[in-house]
Amino acid sequence: MSKGVMTCLPPHDGHPGVEIIWAADCREAFNQGVKLAQSWLDNARSGWLWATMIAERDLLPCAMERRAFEVGFLSRVHQRIRAHQSEKQQHSDFPLAL
């Protein structure tokens, strides 16, 4: 049995990264998903996030690559959401003084 191939999502926006092991080499698809999500986040596109993900994901040839793309894409979005939640929590820890 194969050991698998590891993909790495680096830490970003103050949120930790993650390592995921795939049964096949899905690094390129995973990284494409991460890059597309980052591009969407950076450019504050007016299009729907889900439509952006689906349109690019469906160009991939096999189910495992499409899954890796989705995981990379959603993991990057998750990091951004968690970073903003942490920021809100930090700001709410300070008492409001008038």
Strand runs (DSSP E) across 2-86, as ranges?
A: 5-9, 18-22
Amino acid (1-letter code) at residue 77? V
- Give the domain ranges of the chain: 24-84
| Helix, strand, or coil (residue 98) | coil
User: CA-CA distance, 85 to 83, in Å (whole number)?
Assistant: 5
Q: Answer yes or no: pTM beyond 0.85.
A: no
Q: What is the pLDDT of residues 29-75, one digit of tens each?
A: 999 999 999 999 998 666 899 999 999 999 999 999 999 999 999 99
**Contact (Cβ atoms closer than 8 angstroms) between residue 34 and residue 15:** no
